[in-house]
Amino acid sequence: MRIERLQLRLLRLPLVHFFETSFERVYNRTFIVVIVTADGEDGVGECVADQTPYYSSETAATAWHVIKDFIAPAILGRTFERASEIFPALRAIRGHNMAKAAVEMAIWDAEARQLGVPLSRLLGGTRLRIESGVSVGIQDSYEQLADKIADELAAGYRRIKIKIKPGWDVDAVRVVRERFGAVPLMVDANAAYSLQDADHLAALDRFDLMMIEQPLDYDDVHDHATLQRALRTAICLDESIHTPKIAREAIESSACRVINIKPGRLGGHRESIRVHDIAAAHGVPVWHGGMLESGIGRAHNIHLASLPNFTLPGDIAASRRYYAPDLIDPPIEVRPDGTIPVPDGPGIGVHIDWDRVRHATLETYDVRA
């Protein structure tokens, strides 16, 4: 595959409902869509870097800069046998996994389209549908939280994750348990606590949660191992796991019993598969996270989540929870049984509505070999 052309589009889309984590409340998403042309075939990827550096150090602006000034020159005009060669070819660029992932994933899409196969086949996926869960943000009141969860359960979702932060944690979980009983439930703290909160977090143990996601610092492994020894509830790491090496260290030091895989955080599909395989070899289950992607990124996620060790429901939900309309038509829908079928057309297998993409575009960049 000769990499012939790379296009960037900076888009802004309003969210259907605001989304609040321990670090911020957002009402819209500003993100980059990448289109790579290889041997005459276009592939599309979405960059999950946000406007703010609060989830990770990358932002849409840093990703734009790194793709334009470093990634594009490193791959344009070069020939690769497979998309799996892209991440290693970018080794000289340290970090910037979200920027790398957007380009790498577009090239996986292009390769799958050239071969005329669904992306899931190329990635090694084994399932035809994936199990879907939802991530419910911090709300204005516990009543609003309970109302949202009631809607999600009625739609069929197979597990509920609620965001927590100091002041919105044990009581929020209690409200959910009292109202909804033994539904599969977990919490995500997005790094809002420290080891000094260990006793407070242990108060969550009696609610029989599936796991607590990233309670401690965004780059921490060691303190999570200490905390895991003090908790009955399983720890899942998200932010901390940005390389396969750290995934191995986290598993071997028992800092977590579950891993959240997000290809944006890891640098794309290749590195995600490596983390998936390391976890599988250690008997550690993984699930697929989400970053409020449009249908483009969401479609990539669905294909990746079809690999065998994604044994827990992920944060991959229907388009209508995020964007109305989505950038893809038809949108992604969840079946009443809480599953999403893996698209079976070539590549990511969804139809992009380019008029909607153009309408949401703030800025473009286009470069050829």
Smallest gap from residue 48 Cβ to Mg ion (A): 12
Q: Which member of 20, 220, 315, 326 binds ligand OSB (CB under 6 A)?
A: 315
Within 8 A by CB and 6+ apart from 281, the residues are none
Give the footprint of Mg ion on this chain (CB under 5 A). 188, 213, 238
Question: Which residues fall within 8 angstroms of residue 320, CB to CB, at 6 or more apart?
Answer: 16, 326, 331, 333
Report if residue 135 touches ligand OSB, rule: CB under 6 A.
yes
Q: Which helix (H) or strand (E) holds 280?
A: helix 269-281
| Residue nearest ligand OSB (C-beta atom) | 290
Q: Tell me the C-alpha distance between 204 and 199, whole Å.
A: 9
Closest-by-Cβ residue to Mg ion is 238
Stretch that binds ligand OSB, among 151-159, 175-183, 265-273, 290-298 (CB under 6 A): 290-298
For position 289 contacting ligand OSB by CB under 6 A, the verdict is yes
Cβ distance to ligand OSB smaller for residue 122 or 328? 328
* Inter-CA distances, 151 with 132, 148, 218, 321, Å: 14, 5, 31, 11
Site map (CB under 6 A) of ligand OSB, residues 229-268, x = contact: ---------x------------------------------
**Is 161 tagged catalytic?**
no
Question: Strand 339-341 to strand 286-288: parallel, antiparallel, or no bridges (unpaired)?
Answer: unpaired
Please identify, using beta-carbon distances, which residue of 90 and 168 lies nearer to ligand OSB: 168
Rounded distance, CA 160 to CA 139, Å? 14
Instruction: Work out how close the CB of 213 gets to Mg ion at its nearest, in angstroms, rounded to a whole number.
Output: 5
**With CB under 6 A as the contact rule, which of the stretches 34-42, 288-296, 341-349, 354-362 interacts with ligand OSB?**
288-296
Q: What span, in angstroms and rounded, lies between the C-alpha atoms of 296 and 119? A: 13
In angstroms, the CA 279 to CA 242 distance is 14
> What is the distance between the alpha carbons of residues 36 and 76, in angstroms, rounded to a whole number?
10
The correct pick among 32, 291, 302, 360 for binding ligand OSB (CB under 6 A) is: 291
Catalytic residue among 148, 161, 163, 165: 163
Q: Toward ligand OSB, which CB reaches closer, 31 or 64? A: 31
Order of strands across the sheet that contains 25-38: 41-46, 25-38, 3-20, 361-368
Residue 85 has which token pair? 């060669």
Name residues contacting ligand OSB, limited to 73-132 (CB under 6 A): none
Dihedral-angle region of residue 107 (phi above 0 means left; psi in -120 to 50 means alpha; beta otherwise): alpha
Site string for ligand OSB, 159-188 (x = CB under 6 A): -----------------------------x
Q: Which residues are catalytic?
A: 163, 262
Binding site for ligand OSB (CB under 6 A): 21, 55, 135, 188, 190, 238, 289-292, 315, 317
